[in-house]
Amino acid sequence: MWLEIFLTSVLGFAIYWFISRDKEETLPLEDGWWGPGTRSAAREDNSIRPFKVETSDEEIHDLHQRIDRFRFTPPLEDSCFHYGFNSNYLKKVVSYWKNEFDWKKQVEILNRYPHFKTKIEGIPPQLPAGRTPKPLLMVHGWPGSFYEFYKIIPLLTDPKNHGLSDEHVFEVICPSIPGYGFSEASSKKGFNSLATARIFYKLMLRLGFQEFYIQGGDWGSLICHCRGGVCWAALGLQGRGCPGALGKRFPGSEGGPSNHVALWPPGLSLSLAPRSLLGSALNDSPVGLAAYILEKFSTWTNTEFRYLEDGGLERKFSLDDLLTNVMLYWTTGTIVSSQRFYKENLGQGWMTQKHERMKVYVPTGFSAFPSELLHAPEKWVRFKYPKLISYSYMVRGGHFAALEEPELLAQDIRKFLSLLERQ
């Protein structure tokens, strides 16, 4: 399990729901080996090494050549985003990507925070006198990256300079899931959310944190769920995300018509199955990769955006931010390995693993964003997380909350911490 983990120092796609026992239990920590070959003492390197994101003229030249070879297919008339990414708008994105997007500048922005690698991740911020940092592990999902947190990091690590109280000052650790971005992918089958949670826990121990807070959305929420069930070192879990197939397993939702609409938004399409088939093509075509990923940043942010010619992308995000996230997949060639996470977590059957059937008794907060893929009513969240101390139905926001609504999410994290510390 001594994978190359990438981090920046400075929270879901699927929460599995089920009928389970009320007995409080945790899974054993266990161990594993996900690197190539067999385990050996020579391969076990516990060092934490500084890392910088880098690029080259050759890398950019190759990208531009591939963009130039893009074969345009006209969209259907008045199709907007109903058939995927509208190719007329894609022309604009591709033109901006080649002629205006400055990847070297974005690399400088990525290096604004210190990065590290280790064989199985943190650096303290400058804190107000008398303040002790609260370690916060924040975990991304697909098709996101650690870059999702760049707008929320300063609100958590330096709140006073952003007009916020310094009651809660965090040390934020944002690891990349193995197989995403600069984190080495597993060389073996079976690397799922539980294995990731175990690696991230050992990562935090290596950084010197015996207790810490955790937050995640999309896959990050499932990883944090597993983390809460691995052991009790987490002080609190603050999550967000969609509840998977809750609508079918729990048809008797309470809360009125708006709850039912939120459970299954009209026109919602997750398009999960084709991902394993598309990886090789996406890894060869930057335009295809951008269209595939950015369509999710449109429809997963707000399903109503599919009625717009531009998918509403620039209503919530800048093209620089969106293309930076795409470039983290393109330059590292990790779209295939990132998609394997779906196979490892969903390919064994529904709720076949013990960690999927467990409740989590770590104190928990939940941020319910109204435009999230699927909605989890408070009653259902409390069933899965009996120690739920905060459930916030946010005024706006969708699936990529940390990038879309960093102020709202930071505010809810701080609210959760305040409630937790009063207990």
Query: Three-class SS of residue 422?
Result: helix
Q: From CA 396, how far away is CA 138, in angstroms rounded?
A: 21
Domain span at residue 393? 5-422
**Which residues, in sequence order, are CB contacts of 130 under 8 Å at separation 6+?**
none
Residue 350: per-residue pLDDT: 64
Q: Which residue in the list 218, 329, 385, 412 is annotated as catalytic?
A: 218
Question: C-alpha 298: how far from its chain's center?
Answer: 16
pTM score, two decimals?
0.84
Q: Whole-angstrom Cα distance, residue 270 to residue 48?
A: 37
Give the CATH number, domain containing residue 218: 3.40.50.1820
* Cβ atoms < 10 Å from Cβ of 67: 17
Q: Hey, which bits of 115-241 come out as E strands?
A: 115-118, 134-139, 170-175, 212-216, 234-240
Q: Where are the beta strands (DSSP E) in 22-155?
A: 48-51, 115-118, 134-139
Indicate the pairing of strand 5-9 with strand 170-175.
Answer: antiparallel
Q: Are 144 and 218 in contact (CB under 8 A)?
A: yes
Residue 366's φ and ψ, nearest 5 degrees, are -135, 125
Q: Is the Cα dihedral 81, 221, 339, 147 positive or negative?
A: positive
- Cα–Cα distance measured from residue 181 to residue 184, given in angstroms and rounded to the nearest whole number: 8
| CB count in 10 Å sphere of residue 386 | 14
- The verdict on whether 342 is a catalytic residue reads yes
301: closest CA among 284, 289, 290, 315? 315
Quote the number of domains for the chain: 1
Cα 305 → chain centroid: 21
Maximum Cα interatomic distance, the chain, rounded to a whole number of Å: 62
- Comparing C-alpha atoms, which of 422, 398, 402, 22 is closest to residue 238? 402
Axis-axis angle for helices 87-99, 286-299 (nearest 10): 120
Tokens of 11: 């929270």
399 tagged catalytic: yes
Please state the φ and ψ torsions of residue 395, each to the nearest 5 degrees: -75, -25
Strands 212-216 and 134-139: parallel
The one catalytic residue among 168, 225, 375, 399: 399
Of 373, 376, 374, the C-alpha closest to 392 is 376
Query: 3-state class of 371 per DSSP?
Result: coil
Owner of token pair 């390197």: 45
Per-residue pLDDT tens listing for the chain (423 residues): 444 444 444 333 333 433 444 566 666 566 776 677 776 654 567 788 889 999 999 999 999 999 999 999 999 999 999 999 999 999 999 999 999 999 999 999 999 999 988 876 322 334 445 557 899 999 999 999 999 999 999 999 999 998 888 889 999 999 999 999 999 998 888 899 889 998 998 888 888 888 899 999 999 988 888 765 544 444 566 666 543 323 223 333 344 334 434 444 444 444 444 455 788 899 999 999 999 999 999 999 999 999 999 999 999 999 999 999 999 999 999 999 999 998 888 877 666 677 677 788 889 999 999 999 888 899 989 998 899 999 999 999 999 999 999 999 999 999 999 999 888
Cite the beta strand spans of 37-169 per DSSP E: 48-51, 115-118, 134-139
Torsion of CA 55, 45, 206, 109, to 10 degrees: 0
| H or E element that contains 171 | strand 170-175
Give residue 128's pLDDT.
Answer: 45
Q: Which of 96, 342, 361, 393 is catalytic?
A: 342
Are 365 and 385 in contact by the 8 Å Cβ rule? The answer is: no
Say whether 366 sits in a helix, a strand or coil.
strand
Which among 87, 25, 94 is positioned nearest to 326, based on CA atoms? 94
Cβ neighbours, 10 Å, residue 10? 25
Give the residue carrying structure tokens 């769920």.
Answer: 225
Eight-state DSSP code of residue 217: S
The span from the CA of 276 to the CA of 340, in Å, is 7
What's the token pair of residue 373? 């893929």
C-alpha separations of 94 from 80, 86, 91, 100, 160 in Å: 17, 12, 5, 10, 39
Among this protein's residues, is 218 annotated catalytic?
yes
